[in-house]
Amino acid sequence: MSMSQIPTRKKIEFILNGRPTRIDIEPDELLIDVLRDRLLLTGTKKGCGEGECGACTILLNGKPVNSCLLPAMKVAGQAVLTIEGLAPDEALDPIQESFLEAGAVQCGFCSPGAILAAKALLDEQKNPDEAAIKSALSGNICRCTGYVQIIEAVKLAAEKMNAQPPASKPS
Amino acid sequence: MSIAYYATPKTVAEALGALAELDGRGMIIAGGTDLVPLIKQNRVDAKALIDISGVVEIRGLAFEPEALTIGAAATHHQVCSEPRIREIWPALADACASIGSPQIRNIATLTGNVVNAQPAADAAIALVALGARMEFMAAGELKTELIEKLYAGLGRSKIDPRKEMVTAIKVPRPGGRHGNAYGRISPRNSFCMPIVNAAAALDCEGDRIVSARLAMGPVAETPFRPQRAEAELQNVELRNTRALEAAAVLASQEANPRSSCLRGCADYRKELSRVLVKRVLEKAAAMAGRESIQT
Amino acid sequence: MESKTTLIGRPVVPVDGKDKVKGRAKYLDDLQLPGMLHAGILRSPHAHARIVGIHTEKAMALPGVAAVITAADCPDHRFGCDLPDATILPRDKVRFAGEEVAAVSAVSRKIARQALDLIEVEYDPLPAVFEPEDALKPGAPLIHADKPGNIAIAYQIERGDFKRALAGCDHVFEEEFSTPRVLPGYMEPFGLIAHWEPDGRLKIITGIQAAFQARSEIAKALGINPSRVSIQVPAIGGAFGGKIWIRNFHPLIALLAKKSERPVKYVMTREEEFMASRPRVPAKIKVKLGMMNDGTMVCKEMQILTENGAFSWAAPKVTLNMSMRTDCLYRYQATRVEARLVYTNKTPTSGFRGYGNSQSHFAVESMIDICARRLGLDPLEVRLKNAASQGDTTLHGWHLRSCGLSECLQKASAAIQENRPIREEKGGLFKRGIGIACMNHVSGNRSGENFDGSSSMVRFQEDGKLAVYHGESDMGQGSRTIFALIAAKTLGIPVEDVIVMPLDTDVSPFCFGSYSSRVTTVGGKAVYLASLKVKKQLLDFAGRLMDAPPEILEIENGEVFVKSTPDRKIPVADLCQKAIRSKTTLDLTAYVAYDPPTQGTDKNFFGDYSSAYTYAAQAVEVEVDTETGQVRILRVASAHDVGYAVNPSGIRGQVCGGIAQGAGWGLYENIVYENGVLKTVSMRNYNMLTINDIPEIVPILVETHDPVGPYGAKGVGEPTLIPMAPAIANAIQDAIGHRFKHLPITAEDVFAALHPECNISLMER
């Protein structure tokens, strides 16, 4: 196969924030750039571009990954959740609410990534202890809060989510 | 050099086909957490990437009578969250759990950890101590080799991701009385490169060590096995902490770490490796000293 | 912290919090303008080199490239802070590896990067100098022709009769300390969008702490009138002092936008942040402390050597703060300081949380423990014996209108002894220790006759909502929330009815900026005063409508009512509608330019110069693994004199964040050079605290009700970091008997001290 025959740009289909999405991408495009520059979903933040800060965290099939290190081609056929997909319009997911109430948001730059990492944890464990919370958030660097109120936020979110009747839980 | 083509094969055959067609211009990518930063820095000379993370055959873990088979696309998260691995090969579970961050572990693979060929790669250190082998397709044949023999030098694997494709890692199942453990020392508690790391695997008969395998990093260009220390451990009683300590001293003497202005001076790393090997040996010995695991 | 609610009697969430958690808040890189191009900056690989030639033809020829700027395109106006020595681009020589040499605009970041590789620069390397001591040596390479000996500035300050005081001491101790380069480490890389309007005005969008100062400095660099420049500040992803002052890239990208005839965005990569953003000023501090047998601290002398890097930004002021502020923490009879700030061929240094006060407190608060122990005295008792207190006028002329220093010390030291973590016996290999340190700081400060206040405009809208306009930036510390709380409380309206408007220098009132922990005290005071002014307008109007004298009226929950008969009431919204929409034509607007009642400093730096002085004490419990040298901070009791807690949750956030940064500075963070080459170029090698590293934190609020601040409030942003490093060093000495005087205190250092038999030859730092 000569290089000139190989198709470069490719159309991929994936589920983005619950909706089927199709987009043409270049073979070397990273998911973070597709989200932020192409799809104008700027809630996912670029803190370092080298997978060392977690500000770019999104959920891939429910698991937190660094979108700055993810070739966009990898999400073909997969499900991606960004911060914009957590709650529609003016609504707040219990985790978002808890971050606000617990004082876990200062500059807010790490918050989308941290909230999604917390969501992945709470979707898997209903009552994580402090060690599990810390482990789940250990890939999200925050320079403002010193983390104490972030841990409290996740605990508060667990309480809220456990108190909710199943029918009203956000999908 | 930018990537012009990104293949997402679904089978091993497709992946090998793509490799062959691209004839050296393509490169295997698994998780990409090591490779993507290098590509961004223009340090990768390839025009195409062949992503094996979608190849179903190599994504899982299989528990066989003789060995644990870890598919080439299996992630650190899969390994460290599998209770049976934690039970039988805690060294591997702990090693994988200490790599990077949860985000990295959800994507990065043990295969990549080995092929990236860094001397302190945590999963590789544990795999070397456990006597693990790598299975890979090269020149149309399925080959197998001990992981510790797959290093060509600092940052250079003997596996050529332009021509060869790893299909699995095989970790031998311990028989009889056995203990293994992993440890690392780093400046902060998580998401950090280690100052030193180490793993130990002890095969025993009764209360005595029959064979010991140790792996240490980064005290050489590749994961390092301190053979004099291993020899010294033969016939040692599990509860003989003085002998375990003596072996650790030997191991640190055999070790030859560089001084790094970022990671620590050579003298300190040598001393730390002594402390760490002792701790790891004690942990492995404690595991062996318990009821033998139902393997 | 005892449950204490906000100024308005109930908890509030940050006013911009919902946008942040929904990912809607717009930070610089989230913004796009039509036709916007992306910039790349070419940086010098050499620490010191003559620029022989620059060739840009190949870069210009790359498809997608719009423009290239070199020094030939730039004016030569000097700009900076106190000692303006920077030009937009260097014409003759580069002075640090990482210095900007050229800039490119292109349709994508990728093409901009490719274009940079095509710019050819011929350098003629010059000898370089990397350490201040070397830069001072005769014959050392001269970095700036007009700064002989590479000395940027020197201070000599003496108060009282030092020689006499020293002679009368029972003991004189001398020690030397040092602190390294570390970075503010904000998560959002710095940058800007620059575009020129059709009328020729320059608009810059940038997440900067001091917008009006940026406006004047950018104008100065470009040689244009400041009113031709407008700065808009979007959401800021952390700053900590690293985004107060402009960078060279601000006027540089403005020029690039002009030449490109399109808006241009530039955002630093994280690697560029490591190479070119300005670290904390490194310092070597010799302390001489004269004491009496009974623990009286009689006099203190410091000799300070600070490193400027290649250009002067905030380091001169940082060095001045370093020279002075610790003199006012205790009641010395006399103090003396000699300080020199020296150029080196490294990235310029500047301000970071504490702004020189952190470095000097590390030295002095460590020193006190050392000396107290040598005298067989309790370091806490020595501090309490000598502590400054309310009503004092200090050696530098500060009037301590409120001072909770002793209370902070007592509360922190008591708290650290309670609920101590259970001790695990690990065969005696793990040793625990407790240490305490305290500090003083300012809430803003006035040099000479400068403005040190703030301005605010408040305006009722016809729907009863209050718009608050302000020129101080919110960098995440929650200043907008503070302003909303103060306005809401003062006016008796719901905090949800207060809208704090975005910062735009074309519209916002003139302010100096968010630094020096000043915003609550002076910024909040301006909001308070403006709110009072508009309240009077509203009540005068309400009085006419309700046929009641305004003095008998009050406002609560958005309604104006007669105090004695609360049933007589009118909603604020109705009043606003009537006032604005009818021919009453009441503006319901108030603009206040406020300056606090402080003198400022004379040319010898003497004078009461801060709106409010703040105090804190931190007590730390550490655990040392004697086999590896690793130090873990188990617990911190952190007591802060905040005057009055307007937003306790916000203060708690500052406490925990400052502690995490202080712990990183004390133990893990270091910007490392090897033979003049920067090695720390990635977050992989720069260990800020993760969630798994934080200690248990016990925040303690001390309220001394300052007479100047709004509702008695003072600043707290920087004080939360300042005592940490010395408290850690003091705790380590308590644990293992070794004193570490050079930051960071690494596991390697601790191990080498604990195990001299291992003969560790430490690498030079």
Q: Calculate how close chain B gets to A42, using CA atoms only, in Å.
A: 19
The answer, yes or no, to whether the previous bond of C744 is cis (omega within 30 of 0) is: yes
Tokens coding C357: 């006060």
Tokens coding B259: 């001084």
Instruction: Quickly state the pLDDT bin for B294 (edges 50, 70, 90).
Output: very low
pLDDT at A167 over 70: no
Q: Burial, A86: exposed, middle or buried (Cβ in 10 Å; 0-12, 13-18, 19+)? A: buried
- Asked if A17 and A70 sit in the same domain, the reply is yes
Which CATH number goes with the domain that contains A45?
3.10.20.30
Residue A168 lies in a domain: no
Q: Into how many domains does chain A fold?
A: 2
C-alpha dist (Å) from residue C159 to C20, C156, C608: 49, 10, 15
- Asked if A77 and A108 sit in the same domain, the reply is no
DSSP C705-758: --SSSGGG----TTTTTTTHHHHHHHHHHHHHS----BSS--HHHHHHHH-GGG
- Asked if A99 and A73 sit in the same domain, the reply is no
The position carrying tokens 């804190």 is C616
| Residue span of the structural domain in which A111 resides | 94-163
C716 shares contact with chain B (CB less than 8 Å): no
Residue A61 lies in a domain: yes
B51 shares contact with chain A (CB less than 8 Å): yes
- Nearest CB neighbour to C751, from listed B190, B261, B268: B268
pLDDT at C716 over 50: yes
Q: Calculate how close chain C gets to B139, using CA atoms only, in Å.
A: 37
Q: What is the C-alpha R_g of chain B?
A: 19
Q: Which of C685, B192, B106 is nearest to A57 (CA)?
A: B106
Count of helix runs (H) and strand runs (E) in chain C: 18, 29
pLDDT at C762: 86
User: Which residue, A85, A120, A152, sits at the end of a domain?
Assistant: A85
Residue A171 lies in a domain: no
Task: Test C683 with A115 for CB contact under 8 angstroms.
Answer: no
Residue A44 lies in a domain: yes
Task: Test C22 with A92 for CB contact under 8 angstroms.
Answer: yes
SS3 state of residue C78: coil
Chain B residue whose CA is closest to A57: B103
Least confident of A59-73, C47-61, C117-131, C573-587: C573-587
Classify strands C37-43 and C100-106 as parallel, antiparallel or unpaired. Answer: antiparallel
Task: Test C692 with B271 for CB contact under 8 angstroms.
Answer: no
User: Which residue, A85, A107, A127, sits at the end of a domain?
Assistant: A85
For the stretch C264-316, pLDDT in tens is 999 999 999 999 999 999 999 999 999 999 999 999 999 999 999 999 999 99
Pairwise CA distance, residues B152 & B166, whole Å: 16
Chain A residue whose CA is closest to C664: A143
Classify strands C466-470 and C498-500 as parallel, antiparallel or unpaired. Answer: parallel
- Asked if A115 and A159 sit in the same domain, the reply is yes
- Asked if A39 and A78 sit in the same domain, the reply is yes
The position carrying tokens 């349709």 is C107
B191 shares contact with chain C (CB less than 8 Å): yes
Task: Test A141 with C688 for CB contact under 8 angstroms.
Answer: yes
Exposed e or buried b per residue across C585-620, where buried means at least 16 C-beta atoms within 10 angstroms of its C-beta = ebebbbebbbbbebebbeeebbbbbbbbbbbbbbbb
Q: Calculate how close chain B gets to C623, using CA atoms only, in Å.
A: 14
pLDDT at B158 over 70: yes
Q: Which of B184, B243, B170, B168 is nearest to B212 (CA)?
A: B243
For the stretch A105-158, pLDDT in tens is 999 999 999 999 999 999 999 999 999 999 999 999 999 999 999 999 999 999
| Mean model confidence pLDDT for chain B | 95
Q: What is the mean pLDDT of residues C38-57?
A: 98
Q: Calculate how close chain A gets to C104, using CA atoms only, in Å.
A: 20
Task: Test C18 with A146 for CB contact under 8 angstroms.
Answer: no
- Nearest CB neighbour to B191, from listed C690, C746, C748: C690
For residue C487, the cross-strand partners are none
pLDDT at C100 over 80: yes
Which CATH number goes with the domain that contains A140?
1.10.150.120
The position carrying tokens 């840009």 is C56
Task: Test C14 with A105 for CB contact under 8 angstroms.
Answer: yes
Chain B residue whose CA is closest to C751: B268
- Asked if A13 and A71 sit in the same domain, the reply is yes
**Span between the terminal Cα atoms of chain B, in Å:** 49
For the stretch C344-392, pLDDT in tens is 999 999 999 999 999 999 999 999 999 999 999 999 999 999 999 999 9
pLDDT at A10 over 80: yes
pLDDT at C618 over 50: yes
- Asked if A122 and A69 sit in the same domain, the reply is no
pLDDT at C761: 87
Give me the helix-helix angle, A148-163 and A94-101, nearest 10°: 140
For the stretch B161-215, pLDDT in tens is 999 999 999 999 998 899 999 999 999 999 999 999 999 999 999 999 999 999 9
Q: Chains that contact C by 3+ CB pairs under 8 Å?
A: A, B
C630 shares contact with chain B (CB less than 8 Å): yes
B103 shares contact with chain A (CB less than 8 Å): yes
pLDDT at C2 over 70: no
Task: Test A107 with C188 for CB contact under 8 angstroms.
Answer: yes
Give me the torsion for CA of B23, B29, B34, B36, rounded to 10°.
Answer: 80
A125 shares contact with chain B (CB less than 8 Å): no
Specify the DSSP class assigned to residue B259.
P
Pairwise CA distance, residues B97 & B82, whole Å: 11
pLDDT at B291: 60
DSSP C290-346: EE-TTS-EEEEEEEEEEEEESS-SSHHHHHHHHHHGGGGTBT-SEEEEEEEEEE-SS
Task: Test C763 with B192 for CB contact under 8 angstroms.
Answer: no
On chain B, the residues whose CB falls within 8 A of the CB of A74 are 8, 32, 51, 53
Residue A134 lies in a domain: yes
On chain A, the residues whose CB falls within 8 A of the CB of B29 are 71
- Asked if A100 and A81 sit in the same domain, the reply is no
Tokens coding C248: 């060279």
- Nearest CB neighbour to C475, from listed A92, A107, A148: A107
Tokens coding C79: 């700009």
- Total Cβ atoms within 10 A of residue C348: 29
Q: In what order do the strands lie in the sheet with C466-470?
A: C498-500, C466-470, C454-460, C589-594
- Asked if A99 and A76 sit in the same domain, the reply is no
Pairwise CA distance, residues A54 & A136, whole Å: 11
Q: In what order do the strands lie in the sheet with C49-55?
A: C93-94, C49-55, C120-125
Instruction: Quickly state the pLDDT bin for A4 (edges 50, 70, 90).
Output: low
Tokens coding B210: 């029959």
Q: Calculate how close chain A gets to B174, using CA atoms only, in Å.
A: 30
Q: What is the largest CA-CA distance in chain B?
A: 59
Task: Test A71 with B5 for CB contact under 8 angstroms.
Answer: no
- Nearest CB neighbour to B188, from listed C680, C690, C761: C690
- Asked if A122 and A152 sit in the same domain, the reply is yes
Specify the DSSP class assigned to residue C86.
B
On chain A, the residues whose CB falls within 8 A of the CB of C653 are 103, 106, 144-146, 149
Q: Calculate how close chain B gets to A1, using CA atoms only, in Å.
A: 6
Task: Test B5 with A65 for CB contact under 8 angstroms.
Answer: no
Does the CA dihedral C205-C208-C209-C212 come out positive or negative? negative
Residue A169 lies in a domain: no
Q: Calculate how close chain B gets to A8, using CA atoms only, in Å.
A: 5
Tokens coding C512: 């100096």
Classify strands A57-60 and A10-16 as parallel, antiparallel or unpaired. Answer: unpaired
pLDDT at B186: 95
For the stretch B28-80, pLDDT in tens is 999 999 999 999 988 998 899 999 999 999 999 999 999 999 999 999 999 99
**What percentage of chain B exceeds 90 in pLDDT?**
94
User: Which residue, A27, A62, A85, sits at the end of a domain?
Assistant: A85
Task: Test A50 with C26 for CB contact under 8 angstroms.
Answer: no
Q: What is the mean pLDDT of residues C476-492?
A: 97
Residue A1 lies in a domain: no
* Contact status, residue C320 vs residue C448, Cβ threshold 8 Å: no
Pairwise CA distance, residues B103 & A118, whole Å: 12
Instruction: Quickly state the pLDDT bin for C585 (edges 50, 70, 90).
Output: confident
- Asked if A60 and A99 sit in the same domain, the reply is no
User: Could you tell me how many residues make up chain C?
Assistant: 765
- Asked if A67 and A101 sit in the same domain, the reply is no
What ipTM, to 2 d.p.? 0.97
For the stretch C178-222, pLDDT in tens is 999 999 999 999 999 999 999 999 999 999 999 999 999 999 999
* Contact status, residue B188 vs residue B82, Cβ threshold 8 Å: no
Task: Test C189 with A46 for CB contact under 8 angstroms.
Answer: yes
The residue type of C22 is K
Helices (H), C97-244: 109-118, 132-136, 162-167, 211-222
Chain A residue whose CA is closest to B38: A50
DSSP C501-534: PPEETTTSPP---S-TT-IIIIIHHHHHHHHHHH
pLDDT at A165: 77
The position carrying tokens 């759990």 is B97
Pairwise CA distance, residues C237 & A144, whole Å: 9
Q: Which of B203, B180, B221 is nearest to B95 (CA)?
A: B180
Q: Burial, C319: exposed, middle or buried (Cβ in 10 Å; 0-12, 13-18, 19+)? A: buried
Pairwise CA distance, residues A76 & B121, whole Å: 30
Instruction: Quickly state the pLDDT bin for A1 (edges 50, 70, 90).
Output: very low
Pairwise CA distance, residues A17 & A15, whole Å: 6
Task: Test B21 with A1 for CB contact under 8 angstroms.
Answer: yes
Does the CA dihedral C230-C236-C242-C244 come out positive or negative? positive
Residue A2 lies in a domain: no
pLDDT at A170 over 80: no
pTM as predicted: 0.97
